[in-house]
Amino acid sequence: MSALPIWQFDVLLLMLVLLFAVVALSIRNLMGAAVVFGAYSFMMCLIWAGMGAVDVAFTEAAVGAGVSTVFVVSTLYNTGATMQRRTGGLAFKLFIGVVVTVAGAFLLSALPDFPKWGAPDSPVNATVAPYYILNTFEDAHVHNIVTSVLADYRGFDTLLETTVVFIACIAIYSIMRVDNAKLETDEPAIVAAPRYDPSDSLIVRQASRFMVPFMQLFALYVIAHGHYSPGGGFQGGVILGASLILLAISFDLKFLLRQWSEKTLMLLVAAGVFLYAAVGLACVFMGGNYLDYGFLDSVLPGERDMARSHGILLVEIGVGITVMFSMIAIHINLASNGRFDRGL
Amino acid sequence: MEKLITNFNYVIVVILMMIGLWAMLAQKNLIKKCIGMPIFQTGIILFFISIGAKNKAKVPILSKFVVENSSAIIVNDYANPLTQILMLTAIVVGVATLGVGLALAQKIYQQHSSFDEDEILENQRK
Amino acid sequence: MGFLGYILISTGLVFFLGTTIGLLRFPDFYTRMHAAGKGDTLSTVMILLGCICLVSMSWLLALKILLIINFIFIGSPTATHAMMDAGNKAGATPWRKDSK
For B29, phi then psi, to 5°, come to: -85, 135
Largest CA distance in chain A: 69
| Cβ contact A204–C81 (<8 Å) | yes
State the average pLDDT over residues A136-141.
85
- Strand, coil or helix: C47: helix
pLDDT digits (tens, 9 = 90+) for C4-41: 999 999 999 999 999 999 999 998 889 999 999 999 99
The pLDDT tens digits of the residues spanning A55-83 come to 999 999 999 888 999 999 888 887 766 77
Q: Are A79 and B57 in contact (CB under 8 A)?
A: no
CB contact (8 A) between residue A204 and residue C90:
no
Chain C nearest CA to A203, separation (Å)? 7
d(CA A321, CA A267): 11
Of A175, A149, A76, A165, which Cα lies nearest the Cα of B81? A149
Q: What percent of chain A has pLDDT over 70?
A: 91
Neighbours of chain A (3+ CB pairs under 8 A): B, C
* Residue A252: pLDDT over 90: no
Listed by start position, the domains of chain B span 2-125
Question: Which chain C residues are closer than 8 Å to A214 by Cβ?
Answer: 71
Chains A & B: contacts with CB separation below 8 Å: 306
Tell me what pLDDT residue A71 has: 92
Alpha helices (H) in chain B, listed in sequence order = 2-6, 8-26, 30-52, 64-68, 81-112, 117-125
pLDDT-derived band at A1 (thresholds 50, 70, 90) equals very low
Mean pLDDT of C80-87: 89
Greater confidence (B66 vs A26) lies with A26
Spatial distance between the Cα atoms of A200 and C87, rounded to a whole number of angstroms:
14
Mean pLDDT (whole number) for A324-342: 86
Mean pLDDT of A207-221: 92
Domain spans in chain A, listed from the N-terminal domain onward: 1-80+87-126, 128-344
Q: For chains C and B, tell me whether 3 or more CB atom pairs sit within 8 A of each other.
A: no
Residues of A in contact with C90 (CB under 8 A): 195-196
Mutate to test the interface with A, among B16, B30, B48, B50 (most CBs of A within 10 A): B50
Nearest to C42 by CA among C65, C19, C23, C26: C19
Judge whether A274 and A282 are in contact, CB under 8 Å. no
pLDDT of amino acid A81: 67
Q: Could B87 and A56 be called an inter-chain contact, meaning their C-beta atoms sit closer than 8 Å?
A: yes
Residue type at A210 in one-letter notation: F
- Segments making up each domain of chain C, as ranges: 2-81
Q: How far apart are alpha carbons A118 and B52 in whole angstroms?
A: 7
A179 phi/psi in degrees, rounded to 5:
-80, 130
Parts of chain B with a pLDDT under 50: none
The sign of the torsion formed by the CA atoms of B40, B44, B49, B50 equals positive
* Interchain CB distance below 8 Å, A21 and B19: yes
pLDDT above 50 for A185: no
Q: Which residues of B touch A81 (CB under 8 A)?
A: 109, 113-115
* pLDDT score, position A286: 87
Task: Report chain A residues whose CB lies below 8 A from the CB of B64.
Answer: 143
pLDDT greater than 80 at residue C45: yes
The class that CATH gives domain B2-125 is mainly alpha
Query: What mean pLDDT is reported for chain A?
Result: 86
Sign of the four-CA dihedral A171, A176, A177, A182: positive
pLDDT at C52 over 60: yes
What is the CATH number assigned to the segment(s) A1-80+87-126? 1.20.120.1200
Distance from CA of C85 to the nearest CA of A (A): 8
A99 vs B contacts (CB less than 8 Å):
25
Q: What is the pLDDT of residue A336?
A: 84
Q: What is the pLDDT of residue B39?
A: 94
Q: What's the whole-number average pLDDT of chain C?
A: 89
Does A211 contact C74 at a Cβ distance shorter than 8 Å? yes
pLDDT (mean) for A133-143: 86
